[in-house]
Amino acid sequence: MSRVTNYAERAKAHLREELLDAAAELLIRGGYAGLRMADVASAVGVSRQTVYNEFGGKSALVQAVALRTLAEFTGGIQRRLDEAVDVLAGIRSATAYTIEHAKENRLVAAVTGAEAAEDLLPLLTTRGEPVLNAATDIAEAYLRQRRPELSEPRLIAETMTRLTLSYLVLPTRTAAEAADAVCAVIGPLLEPADRTRRAPRRGPGWDHRTDHRAPTM
């Protein structure tokens, strides 16, 4: 019985991947407005109801495509984080990789550049919470593992993710320059609290016992 169950699960998973492949290709060509569930079904050779049964609706299908696209980046991001000599170097390497890889990914390139798919941009902005949360989870787990003393790893991870997404949406710098810019913001947040506070100036006449300037004659 378990063999039958496993086969059914594999078949279902394979069908889901085929549907996502078809939807991604159609999104590249025509964007969100041009995506029709009937066309996805036709591309795979199943009924339209099968697509609805699997995803529930068009919006959920597109979100599933977006999350799978993010998952395609995950392996490369994690590898660069793990191989880095320190946390900030890992962030720089992972950020640069993400932006460079995005140029090579047809769907991401379409979202950020082509008119046909420009209506998908909200998946990274106003309706980008699922992608934002998934990417932030990865960054937060890394920070908690490498820097367990940080008091607000979630905030730092989300800031890092939002900055990276902003450079994806509006690529005004090279990948290396964008990575440096992200690190310029994140670096101070990684410093221990006692190092980020500036000690008061202690010039001539400073009395450390009373913590104020001693009177001069």
Residue 207's DSSP bridge partners are 212
Which of 16-30, 134-148, 149-163, 198-212 is predicted with the least confidence, judged by mean pLDDT? 198-212
Q: Is residue 215 part of a domain?
A: no
* Residue 139: DSSP 8-state: H
Domain that holds residue 86: 2-192
pLDDT at site 142:
95
In a domain, 204, yes or no: no
What CATH number does residue 67 fall under?
1.10.357.10
pLDDT at 5: 65
Each residue's pLDDT tens digit, 106-157: 888 787 775 567 777 777 666 678 888 888 999 999 999 999 999 999 999 9
Token pair listed for 137: 């989870």
Q: Is residue 130 part of a domain?
A: yes
59-89 per-position pLDDT tens digit: 899 989 988 888 888 888 999 999 999 999 9
- pLDDT confidence of residue 209: 47
Residue 14 resides in a domain: yes
Does any domain span residue 210?
Answer: no
Angle of the 48-55 helix axis to the 2-30 helix axis, nearest 10: 100
Both tokens of 177, joined, read: 């320059």
Name the more confident of 60 and 200.
60
Answer yes or no: is 205 within a domain: no
Domain count, the chain: 1
Q: Is residue 89 part of a domain?
A: yes
The string of pLDDT tens digits covering residues 166-191 is 898 888 899 999 999 999 999 999 98
- What are 76's two structure tokens? 């490369």
Would you call 212 helix, strand, or coil by DSSP? Answer: strand
Rounded-to-integer distance, Cα 122 and Cα 119, Å: 7
> Looking at the domain assignment, is residue 54 inside a domain?
yes
Helix (H) or strand (E) holding 213: strand 212-213
